[in-house]
């Protein structure tokens, strides 16, 4: 099973600040996907195939990476971005999620 | 529009079983696998497995092979997950979800809260 380790676990950013969340895989994966989850709600697809934005996702979000290291970046933090973000991979018929990064506004 | 409607919250006793449902609408049920995901309170997401509604083929996360059983009823476009020999570790919210045309886990049910308590 491929283990995904996210960092940081929690963070707070000021409005307008650049934010980067990292996801490291225990073995190389071809793609990484990201989900946003707000309290009491189901997760939403956010970034897929490493760098493609899901429908409705603001273009201040971006994704990048390859191999064992991937990241989600917010160019300019906004209040509505407060949420928990999870990375996810599927390879060798095994699917795993990262431990999550809780992002708050300062 | 695609909709996955899950059954309501369940309170079950330790050692018992529970069967959760996920009723699909807005698309051809047999065209997409249904996956199930566990989220313990305040914790991350765990993939349980998936079922191919067309063939009934299942693929489980090794961790859940003896815990979860996935089935479907094509006549009602409903997927089911039965959890057996429940313990407090099984208390969690369980989601059904499916891929979009190109987007992983594009659609999610609203989740079913399972509480295991005597």
Decide: helix, strand or coil at residue B62. Answer: helix
d(CA B84, CA A42): 24
Q: What is the pLDDT of residue A94?
A: 85
Q: What is the pLDDT of residue B89?
A: 96
- Rg over alpha carbons for chain A, rounded to the nearest Å, is 13
Token pair recorded at residue A36:
């946003």
Residue closest to B47 by CA, chosen among A38, A89, A37: A89
Residue closest to B89 by CA, chosen among B36, B40, B21: B40
8 A C-beta contact, residue A97 and residue B47: yes
8 A C-beta contact, residue A47 and residue A33: yes
Q: Which residues in chain A show pLDDT less than 50?
A: none
Q: Which residues of A touch B105 (CB under 8 A)?
A: 33, 35, 43, 45, 88
- Which A residues, 76 through 95, put their C-beta within 8 Å of a C-beta on chain B? 86, 88, 90, 93-95
Terminal Cα-to-Cα distance of chain B (whole angstroms): 40
Q: What is the least distance, in Å, from the CA of B115 to any CA of chain A? A: 16
Q: How confident is the model over B58-106, as pLDDT tens digits?
A: 999 999 999 999 999 999 999 999 999 999 999 999 999 999 888 999 9
Is B44 within 8 Å of A98 when comparing Cβ atoms? yes
What average pLDDT does this structure show over B5-26? 98
d(CA B39, CA A39): 12
Q: At residue A83, what are phi and psi to the nearest 5 degrees?
A: 180, 180
Residue closest to B107 by CA, chosen among A78, A39, A51, A45: A45
8 A C-beta contact, residue B103 and residue A48: yes
Decide: helix, strand or coil at residue B88. Answer: helix
> Could you tell me what percent of chain B has a pLDDT over 70?
100
Q: What is the pLDDT of residue B102?
A: 86
Q: Which of A1, A49, A86 sits opposite B45 (nearest CB)?
A: A86
Give the residue from B44, B59, B62, B99 with the most A CB atoms within 10 Å of its CB, the best one to mutate: B44
d(CA A42, CA A60): 22
Q: What is the pLDDT of residue A21?
A: 98
Question: Where are the extended beta strands (E) located within B7-111?
Answer: 10-12, 18-25, 34-39, 45-51, 58-60, 68-73, 78-83, 92-98, 107-108
Q: What is the pLDDT of residue B42?
A: 83
Residue closest to B71 by CA, chosen among B83, B87, B61: B83
d(CA B113, CA B110): 10
d(CA B77, CA B72): 7
Q: Which of B37, B103, B109 sits opposite A48 (nearest CB)?
A: B103
């Amino acid at each position: 099973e491929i283990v995904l380790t996210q960092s940081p676990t929690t963070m707070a950013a000021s409005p307008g600040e650049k934010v980067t969340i990292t996801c490291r895989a225990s073995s190389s994966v071809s793609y990484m996907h990201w989900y946003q989850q707000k309290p009491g709600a189901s997760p939403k697809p956010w970034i897929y195939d490493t760098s493609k934005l899901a429908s409705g996702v603001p273009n201040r979000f971006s994704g990048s990476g390859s191999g064992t290291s991937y990241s989600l970046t917010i160019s300019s933090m906004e209040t509505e971005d407060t949420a928990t973000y999870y990375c996810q991979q599927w390879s060798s018929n095994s699917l795993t999620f990262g431990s999550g990064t809780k992002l708050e506004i300062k | 529009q695609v909709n996955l409607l899950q059954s309501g919250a369940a309170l079950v006793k330790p050692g018992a079983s529970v069967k959760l449902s996920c009723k699909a609408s807005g698309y051809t049920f047999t065209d997409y696998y249904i996956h199930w995901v566990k989220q313990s309170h305040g914790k991350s997401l765990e993939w349980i497995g998936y079922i191919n509604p067309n063939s009934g083929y299942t693929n489980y996360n090794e961790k859940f092979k003896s815990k979860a059983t996935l089935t479907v009823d094509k006549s009602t476009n409903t997927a089911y997950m039965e959890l057996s020999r429940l313990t407090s570790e099984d208390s969690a919210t369980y989601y059904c979800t499916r891929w979009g045309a190109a987007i992983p886990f594009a659609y999610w049910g609203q989740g079913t809260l399972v509480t295991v308590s005597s």
